[in-house]
Amino acid sequence: MASMMKSFVDVTPGSQFPIQNLPYGVFRPSAGASPRPGVAIGESVLDLSVLADAGLFKGPLLAKSNCFSQTSLNAFMALGRPAWKEARTTLQKLLSADEPTLRDNDTLRSKAIIPMSQAKMEMPAVIGDYTDFFSSKEHAVNTGTLFRGSRELALPPNWVHVPIGYHGRASSVVLSGTDITRPRGQTSPPEGQNGPEFKPSALLDFELEMAVFVGPGNQLGTTVSVDDAAQHIFGFVIMNDWSARDIQKWEYIPLGPFLGKSFGTTISPWIVTMEALEPFICDAPEQDPPALPYLTEKKRFTYDIPLQVALKPEGASKASVICNSNFKYLYWTVCQQLAHHTVNGCNLNPGDLLASGTISGPDDGSMGSMLEQSMGGRKDIMLEHGGSRKFLKDGDEVVMTAVCQGNGFNVGFGACTGKILPVKM
């Protein structure tokens, strides 16, 4: 039974990275070493290139592959679910408390297993294209209410039919821990004036999201059905889609968000696979009206992934939790998003990133952005450990985490963090 599996590697109870997880990332074991694929276990990282060089991937799909000698996970992502399952089986065996191959080989083990504190995490994939969706009904209603003035008119007429998305900037997707510089830009003309202002954004915000990495892609002109979509999904990360609300508001009509988003987008470093999330599968929200046939899933499901956002002001010793949400609230599933993305023949590639959009839940404590929490800047957000906010201040650090509670084990994502630096003059 999966929950009974145990590794010879020391894993504290409650760890985010037990043998039931095994998320993939890319890391450097030391400064100057090349990046290579790795898997998290307890407080260690398993170097997959070392295992591959030692011939330990013996299965039919991986034995002759050089995917673990690459500087990114794109090649492994391209191989598809049968290869991912084969790798998982191999890794769970090699890490098992009952398996001597790695456990008893001191030289190999010390080369292959490195303390996480020593590893420098890198971007896990080369992202060819990044798409951001808008899949939370609560978030769409909250923001629509702010912009249109009433809850009845809040949802755009297409929202319950179209998994609305827009292309984001791939170049500025960065890894957790990267500082985010407050952007400057044009903002709406002040009351009574004609011309816009140009200044540092005064309404800097975070957006709590999750994102999936695409596995095998599809050729241009072909589609991926909603029932096949899961085979094209490698795994999940947490994402912070930092937003400059004032820049966004002035620019976004008619062609959508642009500079208000592209100054930085942060992802967590460990990609948690669908296999690891299987114990947390749950029902997705009912859809009314029913989705169009091409979006109607034979087996509609989502994942119960509790999400948390904490804010730590400069100089504070403790971060204050300001949001408890859950991936399961999302109206549009990852399979519906992926199928929609290809229905016109658009081609996805391995390593593409598809994000959910801000994940807000049904109550005040579960809102995924400060825009919503502060009701458009009108209400103060109290920080438990002191202070209040409407939007982000310089020096603020935003920390997003996600941990699924299993039967005797947890499956976590690490942290998605970033600190705001003042505008560069």
Give the catalytic positions in this structure. Answer: 139
Q: Which of 60, 100, 254, 315 binds a second copy (CB under 8 A)?
A: 254
In the Cβ-directed half-sphere of 353, how many Cα atoms lie within 13 Å? 32
CB of 328 to a second copy, least distance (A): 23
Residue 106 assigned as binding residue = no
Q: Residue 201, Cα to own-chain centre: how many angstroms? A: 25
Evaluate whether 39 touches 9 at the Cβ level (below 8 Å). Answer: no
For residue 178 the two structure tokens come to 């990267």
Tell me, by CB under 8 A, how many residues bind a second copy: 62
**Distinct helix (H) and strand (E) counts, the chain:** 10, 26
Q: How far is the CB of 245 from a second copy (least distance, A)?
A: 13
Is residue 264 near a second copy by the rule CB under 8 A?
yes
Backbone angles phi and psi of 355, in degrees to 5:
-105, 155
| 252 annotated among ligand-binding-site residues | yes
Nearest distance in Å: CB 8, a second copy: 41
Site membership for a second copy, residue 392 (CB under 8 A)? no
Closer by beta carbon to a second copy, 154 or else 307: 154
Residue 164 DSSP symbol: -
Stretch 157-176 residues interacting with a second copy (CB under 8 A): 158, 161-162, 164-172, 174
- Alpha-carbon distance of 248 to 371, in angstroms, equals 12
Q: Minimum distance between the CB of residue 182 and a second copy, rounded to whole angstroms?
A: 9
C-alpha distance across the termini of the chain, in Å: 58
Cβ proximity of 71 and 138 under 8 Å: no
Q: Is the dihedral of CA 113, 116, 121, 127 positive or negative?
A: positive
User: Is there binding between residue 253 and a second copy (CB under 8 A)?
Assistant: yes
Was 409 annotated as part of a binding site?
Answer: no
The residue (of 227 and 364) whose beta carbon lies closer to a second copy is 227
Task: Give the pairing type, strands 265-267 and 173-175.
Answer: parallel
**Residue 312 is labelled as binding a ligand:** no
Give the span between the Cα atoms of 331 and 346, in whole angstroms. Answer: 23
Q: Are strands 130-133 and 353-355 parallel, antiparallel or unpaired?
A: parallel
Residue 315 as a binder of a second copy (CB under 8 A): the answer is no
* Phi then psi dihedrals of residue 166, to 5 deg: -145, 155
Residue 114: both structure tokens together: 């490195």
Indicate the residue among 88 and 249 with the shorter CB distance to a second copy.
Answer: 249
The reply to whether 143 sits in an annotated binding site is no
**Nearer CB in complex with a second copy: 108/160:** 160
Assess 379 for contact with a second copy (CB under 8 A): no
- CB atoms closer than 10 angstroms to residue 72: 20
Tell the smallest beta-carbon distance from residue 4 to a second copy (Å).
Answer: 43
C-alpha distance from residue 339 to each of 208, 230, 301, 332, 342 (Å): 23, 10, 15, 11, 5
The residues facing 272 across adjacent strands are 236
Residue 273 among known ligand-binding residues:
no
Residue 350 binds a second copy (CB under 8 A): no
**Residue 282 vs 292, nearer CB to a second copy:** 292
Residue 348, number of CB atoms within 10 A of its CB: 22
Given the rule CB under 8 A, which of 46-54, 66-74, 218-226, 394-402 is the region that contacts a second copy?
218-226
* One of 346, 375, 393, 394 touching a second copy (CB under 8 A): 346
Question: Nearest approach, Cβ of 352 to a second copy (angstroms)?
Answer: 7
Which residue ranges are tagged as binding site for substrate? 134, 148, 248, 252, 358
- Which residues here bind a second copy, judged by CB under 8 A? 128-129, 134, 156, 158, 161-162, 164-172, 174, 181, 183-186, 194-196, 198, 220-223, 244, 247, 250-260, 262-264, 289, 292-294, 340-341, 343-349, 352, 421, 424
Which residue ranges are tagged as binding site? 132, 134, 148, 207, 209, 241, 248, 252, 261, 265, 358
